[in-house]
Chains A and B, each alone.
Chain A
Amino acid sequence: MMRELYTQIIMDHYRCPRNHGALEHPDLEEHLLNPLCGDEVTVYATFDEDGGVAEARFEGSGCSISQASASMMTERLAGKSLEEAETEIDNFKAMMVGEMEFPENDELAALKGVIRYPSRIKCAVLAWTAFSNGLYSGERPGGGGDRDH
């Protein structure tokens, strides 16, 4: 059963996180703490001229699920338009609460096993929520700051 939760892909991202480390001049920087367990993550991004995500990175400390999910998120969001990024985040959150199916051949489906462990879902969505908060915080010039959430 643990192999369903701790998949090879998760452990791979945990051991060798992609896009790990701060960005020096980020357009988006958002820190989020999971007060229940102390996991923390800071996400960084730069935006291109059209407001799309040019680069996404993260730093943090936490369990394999939170760190692997953050790593996968940075890969997923880089190169996406603002709208696409928002949709990716919304979809991921919907998948993590079972409101949407994970597409079969999507790398993110490696996190599917987490759904069975409600206390760990918060770990999986931590970085995504941080990124979403960053998008909507209004600090970003011309960004989605006018959107309530």
Chain B
Amino acid sequence: MYDIEEIRDDFPILKREVNGKPLVYLDNAATPQKPRQVLDTLNGYYEQHNANIHRAVHRLAEEATAAYESAREKVACFLGAPETTGLIFTRSTTESINLVAHAWGRKNLHEEDEIVLTETEHHSNLVPWQLAAQATGAKLRFIPIREDGTLDMEEAQRLIGSRTKLVSCVHASNVLGTTNPIESLTELAHETGALMLVDGAQSAPHMPVSVEELGCEFFACSGHKMLGPTGVGVLWGKPEILEEMNPFLGGGEMIREVHLDHSTWNDLPYKFEAGTMNIAQAVGLGTAVDYLDELGMENVLKHERWLGEYAYSRLSEVEEITIYGPENGRTGLVSFSLPNIHPHDLSQLLDEEGVAIRSGHHCCQPLMRRLGVTATSRASFYVYNTGEDVDALVEALLLAREFFGSFSGLKL
């Protein structure tokens, strides 16, 4: 059913070598590789259908518009959205969150209002709220994590109160491998009349997601993290809330009527899609979503959970390693560090073996401080990774350690 060899065949880049070794690509949380089907869609779009959408009356424009709107339907369906009116294409998760922070935040936040985030947020779900807070006088509050990296829900209960206007939380952490209890947070938010935003950059690509079941008001994710091209992101919002919001960017397409001194706004979702969108990329995302649907997100989740747990257990065998986040219930990524080898050096040494991992703060500087490190190494998996990839990682780690160890006898 889940034929890994067949899947790997769909990703041409997996056949390349790095430093004379087969590529072992384990930086999927940053961006995964793209299947041939998506690449063919991009080519096909430009070779056969390219035109600007929603405007001209000619065949190509109609085909391009149909392809773009069909991608919207596919993505809405993939995210369990009840309709397409709330499904807005953006450039990225970052832009989606900025859209809400501006168009909703600037209008609805006032002094003494509170926005509740967590200590684990990616900068993209932190900095936009810092800016919104500076502009409106609202205050930021942070739900802490427990030692194992899971959210302290008792503190969440204490922090979410009558002043809370919005709770915004990462669904799956890009560092800890945790999945946060969004339903419970949404319930807490709704009890006090606050809205709920979910940063789904690391969940939508890796597990079944239904915005309707999550109950949130906003859900943001990135196309390129779910096998789509770069340059397209998604914001889903409840239409009745989007309707009340100010526009984000002004320009073509988002208007209904324009006068020299004022304008009125287009219907949803076009009100939030100013200017020429990343049309080909959105269409490519539609194909990516078809691809994931065909695999089945339950199967993807199961495969990655197995990889995450296998990686955790194999890495645990490495002496003196520190692995961040809980042992069980992990998503398909593992952050770790080795004493005396900086993550940067480790990445470089692994690259020599053809193994691509990420090192650094993963756009989570506050979380790094909380963990007491400046950087970690991270291996993150996706649909095409195998147990052999994990074995190659561990083998390369041992080689790296041996290499660094060979210098340790040095004295001045």
Contact = CB atoms under 8 A, between A and B. Distances in A.
Interface of A: 1-2, 5-6, 8, 11-12, 15-16, 36-40, 61-66, 117, 120, 123
A64 B346 CA distance: 10
B344 A37 contact: yes
Interface centre among A12, A15, A40 (most CB of B within 10 A): A15
B405 to A, nearest CB: 11
A15 B408 contact: yes
Contacts of A63: 342-345
Closest CB pairs A-B (n = 3): A63-B344, A11-B407, A63-B342
Contact of B410 (A1, A15, A61, A65): A15
Contacts of A8: 407, 410
A64 B400 CA distance: 13
Interface string B331-349: 0000000000011110011
Interface of B: 19, 342-345, 348-349, 352, 359-361, 365, 368, 374-375, 403-404, 407-408, 410-412
Contact of A38 (B368, B407, B408, B412): B368
A63 B407 CA distance: 15
Contacts of B342: 62-64
A39 B374 contact: yes
A15 B368 contact: no
Contact of A12 (B348, B404, B412): B412
Contacts of B344: 37, 39, 62-66, 120, 123
Nearest to B409: A15
B407 A117 contact: no
Contacts of A1: 19, 352
Contacts of B360: 36-38
A15 B348 CA distance: 18
A66 B359 CA distance: 15
Contacts of B343: 63
A1 B349 CA distance: 10
A3 to B, nearest CB: 9
Nearest to B346: A63
A12 B374 CA distance: 22
Contacts of B365: 38
Nearest to B361: A38
A1 to B, nearest CB: 7
A41 to B, nearest CB: 11
A63 B345 CA distance: 6
Contact of B407 (A15, A36, A39): A15
14 contacts: A1-B19, A2-B352, A6-B403, A6-B404, A6-B407, A11-B410, A12-B410, A15-B408, A16-B412, A37-B361, A38-B360, A38-B361, A63-B343, A63-B344
Contact of B348 (A16, A38, A62, A117): A117
A111 to B, nearest CB: 14
Contacts of A62: 342, 344, 374
Contacts of B348: 2, 5, 117, 120
A61 B407 contact: no
B126 to A, nearest CB: 14
A66 B360 CA distance: 14
B374 A40 contact: yes
A37 B349 contact: no
A44 B368 CA distance: 26
